[in-house]
Amino acid sequence: MGATSTTVIVTEGLTRSFGSQVAVDALTVTIEAGEVFGFLGHNGAGKTTTVRMLNGVLAPTAGRVRVFGLDPTTDGHRIRARTGVLTETPALDSRLTARMTLLHFAEIYGVPPRERTRRVDELLALFELEKRADSKVGGFSKGMRQRLALARTLIHDPEIIFLDEPTSGLDPVAIRDVHHTIEQLTHRGRTVFLCTHNLAEAERLCDRVAVLAHGRVLAIGTTQELGSRLNRGHRISLEIEAQDIARAVKLFAATPPVSLAEAVTDRTAVRNGSATIVLHGVSRSEVPAMIQTAIQHDLKLYRVQPEEPSLEDVYFALQEL
């Protein structure tokens, strides 16, 4: 398996089926200590199932897994002592207070009694929960719950941190906080296994990314290696004169790195005589060049907006190869 001393996760042909459905299909990856590894895929791609198998809480149907050189099937508890998992739903008991929750898990994870209160106070402060530390979790907002769940995940200072869609459903401020936390963790040399369906998030935070669809890895590599293919997922929309739309489509279709230029045809896109065109494969850094092109060709620009990156386009680009 060519495992070096810093390899923390190795899988070979890791597979899990539910009945006839293959949730994870022959996954082969190697993850080094200190890496931020992105597991990018839509709902149902097999991300959560993989996290479960790596931690020995779900049995693989086939294949080989080693985490810290241990087999999760037989040594799950030893692995789990050194990993922290932020599950998709926070799984918090609403009847406990934030402080009780953290103290309880500190005890379960064997944090020495003398260190417990200090550790809990630290995490409450880090996640800005001090003011509500002694309130029941039942009254917490979604963002607060997520922060508390994250604090719980870190209570024993784990070596590998699994984050299963840590920002899904959060507001922008909460998302920023979670991203900040992940960056801090990586500065401290922790390994992060980040499951997400958000392309921008994966690109921003991860050293390497595996793109997953229907349980299969479509591509795996550093964000630079996957660069142009991941870029396919980026889109911007331009609002221009409605009468110029055909000309604009033709123009941009021939302008690199645009992979596809399409006129948005639904009614809402057409107003006050202007219309919208979406340019696929254009990331934020290429926006100025696009504006310049538009101006050079006498297109009247009313609005330029980067759109939420689309995984579909990435899938499409990866499958073309």
Partner 1 sequence: MNWGAVWAIARKDAMVALRTRAVVLPLIIVPLVLMVGVPVLVGLISGMATRLDVPSSDMTELAQSLPAGFGEQYAGLSEVQAGYIYFILYLFAPMYLVLPLMASSVVAADSFAGEKERKTLEALVYTPTTDRELLLAKILGGWIPGSLVGLVGFIIYAIVADIMTFYVAGRIVLPNPLWLLLAFWVGPAAAALGLGVTVIASSRVNTFQEAYQIGSLVVLPVVLLVVGQAAGTFILSDWLVALMGLVLWALNLVIFAIAAATFRRTALMARL
Contacting residues toward partner 1, per CB under 8 A:
18, 52, 55-59, 76-78, 80-81, 83, 85, 87, 89, 91-96, 104-105, 107-110, 152
Q: Does 285 bind ligand ADP (CB under 6 A)?
A: no
Whether 304 contacts 236, CB under 8 Å: yes
Is 48 a binding residue for Mg ion by CB under 5 A? The answer is yes
Q: Which span (30-38, 87-95, 284-292, 304-312) binds Mg ion, by CB under 5 A?
A: 87-95
**Interface stretch with Mg ion, choices 10-18, 41-49, 112-120, 227-235 (CB under 5 A):** 41-49
Which residues are bridge partners to 30 per DSSP? 10
Q: Which is nearer to partner 1, 109 or 302 (CB)?
A: 109
Alpha-carbon distance 315 to 273, whole Å? 35
Cis peptide leading into residue 309 (ω within 30°): no
Q: Rounded to an integer, what distance in angstroms lies between the CA atom of residue 39 and that of residue 48?
A: 10
Residue 141 binding partner per list ligand ADP, partner 1, Mg ion, none, with a CB distance cut-off of 5 to 8 Å that depends on partner kind: none
Nearer to ligand ADP, 48 or 198 (CB): 48
Q: Is the dihedral of CA 268, 273, 277, 283 positive or negative?
A: negative
Of 206, 204, 197, 259, the closest CA to residue 42 belongs to: 197
**Structure-block tokens of residue 143:** 């963002």
- Choose one: 88-96, 104-112, 238-246, 278-286; the region binding Mg ion (CB under 5 A): 88-96
* Per-residue tokens: 230: 């991941």
Site for ligand ADP in 19-78 (CB under 6 A): 21, 23, 41, 43-49
Q: Which residues are at the interface with ligand ADP (CB under 6 A)?
A: 18, 21, 23, 41, 43-49
